[in-house]
Structure 1
Amino acid sequence: MEILWWQVLLLTLYAGYQIWDELHLYSSISQPVFAGLIAGLIMGDVTTGLVIGGSMQLMILGVGTFGGASRIDANSGTLLAVAFSVALGMEPTQAIATLAVPVASLMIQTDILARFTNTFFAHRIDTKIEEMNYKAIERYYVAGIIPWALSRMIPVFLALAFGGSVVKSVVHFLNTDLKWLGDGLTTAGAVLPAVGFAILLRYLPIKKHYMYFILGFVLTAIFASMFDGMTSLGTAVSGLDKKFDTEFNSLPMLAIALIGFAFAAMEYKRTSLAKPVKPGEMSETHSQNDDEGEIEDDEI
């Protein structure tokens, strides 16, 4: 399967849109999981798109930017990984390790280039502020999206339009002469989401709220085991009696999310009603968390 011209066009346009959404609209459509969904719809394989997008989302789960810091562009990496995975028949986990992660890391350079280029518009805005030219201020402000969008659109377009043969050769080489390396990269791609969880747990105040962490883990394990047992039982009974057509569904992710939301609401209510600390004083809990290196809400 080849990547058609209209697929290249749509993926390129989305690559430019996603950075604009991330900087201005904040609709969350610029997240890797949505990039995987949209790329999957365009390429005709939503399952592969969600697997790659979800894996990349989990990988950057604990990664954040502070100030002017740049981070890997997981969205562009997801777009290319989904496109070539579907077009060349790659395993999603192998596409993550060989395409998504390297491309996302390389896109840090184009992100920095976009930031440097935008200084031109920033200086022009400063000049127009002194002149009280509000129309020009608005015009240069909107024009600032151009370098940001091009920093994503150009690399994605070039990779999709001219990189297909190169990627195809590399994939063939990994699956034949270097099969051991290809299998290793596939395994690494499956493990990468755990890295995001590890980073997230490193910066969450786990030591302060360990009781919720333990409860959430135990409840999830209990419910998962219970529903899996019911599903197995239902399957066994249906095999004995053809009239038994009741379906046993597994615990939905929404239920797990609601349990977590309940814990978060209880903690928020408890902390919001806590006795305020007088000026110049510091609570013992806050002092301990600072020593542990955990990031509190007021530090982000």
Structure 2
Amino acid sequence: MIQWWQILLLTLYSAYQICDELTIVSSAGSPVFAGFITGLIMGDLTTGLFIGGSLQLFVLGVGTFGGASRIDATSGAVLATAFSVAQGIKPELAITTIAVPVAALLTYFDILGRMTTTFFAHRIDAAIERFDYKGIERNYLLGAIPWALSRALPVFFALRFGGEFVQGVVNVVKEYQWIADGLTLAGRMLPGLGFAILLRYLPVRRNLHYLAMGFGLTAMLTVLYANVSSLGGAVSGIIATLPKEVAANIAFLNDFKGLPMIGITIVGIFLAVAHFKNSQKVAVAAPSTSSESGEIEDDEF
């Protein structure tokens, strides 16, 4: 059962996250952040991060260019995490039965938010002609209301009145185990699909050596630090037999779980800095990278 205060907090977060995505861009509007916040409010961070991270990987290669709308994976993460925790639904099942359908459905609310905001945009145009700076500021802030409501209202009504419907769907799915198994498998495949979409639009052929090197480094560092972790486990067993004063000084040897990602992150930062410096040199030598026809090259895209 989802408590009233949880519904209130999740509704307020849903209203804020879209405004943050459009203005501040602090990543508070990302699916993984939504999973974290929802998991924190619902009392299950593991489920929240799993669902949010899975949806984040799913939309890696999806973007909004110009006035295009995309699936609302952030609201999908909020609802999937909330119902998964409240009703004991498997995270993989919650992703396919709740998150993905909700994310697709809320595309229409995104369009509605864009359309209603134009009312305030026209008022800003009129205020500019009058040199009414207070009016410009006021209508700019009022324009955030349709955007906030486009996320807050669907999330509120779904959390308040959708519990029985979701539970009914889950009960039907559980009656036919093969459907549940298929949906669970589909939920596990979504992050891979997101990577496939991302690789489809990246200039992979030109930078295939970087992709291969990244895969190799990930594999080697994972194996290397797995052995280090085993060593840490052995050392921790020895530490347990030592006096507490001595054990406290060398207890740090017991934690190696974060090392694989630390190593990969350091290598990634190095490559990013090297690529940035190289691109700066190229930009100085050739200011324009567009073709004569005006077509945007891969690096610009």
Residue identity in the other structure for 2:220: I
Alignment of 1:24-63 (within 5 A): 24-63=23-62
TM-aligned CA distance change 1:154 to 1:268, over 3 Å? same
Structure 1 residue identity aligned to 2:260: P
1:276 paired residue number: 285
Give the direction of change, closer, same or farther, for the CA distance of 1:182–1:280 in structure 2 (3 Å limit): closer
* Correspondence 1:100-249 to 2 at 5 A: 100-176=99-175, 178-232=176-230, 235=233, 243=241, 247=254, 249=256
**Residues 259, 114 of structure 1: CA spacing in aligned structure 2 closer, same or farther, 3 A cutoff?**
same
Offset at residue 54 of structure 1 (A) = 0.6
Distance 1:168 1:278 in 2: 58
1:271 Cα offset (Å): 2.9
CA–CA distance in 1 between the matches of 2:196 and 2:289?
35
Structure 1, 33-42 or 125-134: larger mean CA deviation: 125-134
Q: Deviations over 1:121-174 (max 9, x none)?
A: 111111222222221111111100111111111110110000001111111111
CA-to-aligned-CA distance 1:27-73 (integer Å, 9 cap, x gap): 11111111001000110111100000111111111111100000111
Please give the alpha-carbon distance, in whole angstroms, between the structure 1 residues aligned to 2:86 and 2:288.
Answer: 62
Aligned letter for 1:247? N
**Equivalent residues in 2 for 1:278-293 (5 A)?**
none
CA offset at residue 279 of structure 1? 7.1
CA RMSD, Structure 1 to Structure 2 (Å): 2.5
| Distance apart, 1:247 and its partner CA | 3.0
Any conservation in 2 of the 1:212–1:263 contact (CA below 8 Å)? no
**TM-score, normalised to structure 2's length?**
0.88
Aligned to 2:298: 295
Letter in 2 for 1:295: D
* Separation in 1, partners of 2:6, 2:255: 40
Distance 1:37 1:116 in 2: 30
CA offsets 1:177-199 (integer angstroms, 9 cap, x no match): x2211111111111101111111
- 1:270 CA drift (Å): 2.4
CA-to-partner distance for each residue in 1:242-272, whole Å, 9 max, x for gaps? Answer: 7598536243313211111111212222232
Distance verdict in 2 for CA 1:222–1:12, change over 3 Å: same
CA gap of 1:105–1:141, structure 2 versus 1, over 3 A, is: same
| 1:205 match: secondary structure | coil
Counterparts of 1:218 and 1:294, CA distance in 2: 28
SS of residue paired to 2:254? coil
What code does the residue aligned with 1:260 have? G
Amino acid in the other structure paired with 1:221: A
Listed as ranges, the gaps of 5+ residues in structure 1 are 284-289
C-alpha distance 124-271 of structure 1, shift in aligned 2 (>3 A): closer
Alignment partners' CA distance in 1, 2:130 and 2:237: 81
User: Equivalent residue for 2:275?
Assistant: 267
**Between 235-244 and 215-224, the greater mean CA deviation after superposition:** 235-244
Q: Deviations over 1:181-222 (max 9, x none)?
A: 111111111110111111111122222222222111111111
Residue matched to 1:81: 80
Q: Give the direction of change, closer, same or farther, for the CA distance of 1:128–1:190 in structure 2 (3 Å limit).
A: same
AA aligned to 1:37 is F
Secondary structure of the equivalent of 1:61?
Answer: coil
Matched residue, 1:286: none
Q: Alignment length, in residue pairs?
A: 288
CA distance in structure 1 between the partners assigned to 2:260 and 2:230 by the alignment: 17
Contact kept in structure 2, 1:8 and 1:161, CA below 8 Å:
yes
Provide the C-alpha distance between the structure 1 equivalents of 2:268 and 2:149, rounded to a whole number of angstroms.
Answer: 39
**C-alpha distance in 1 between matches for 2:195 and 2:114:** 29
* From 261, 275, 286, the counterpart of 1:253: 261
2:90 matched residue in structure 1:
91
Relative distance call for 1:132 and 1:262 in structure 2 (3 A) is: same
1:19 shift after superposition? 0.4
Q: Report if the CA contact (8 A) 1:234-1:248 is conserved.
A: yes
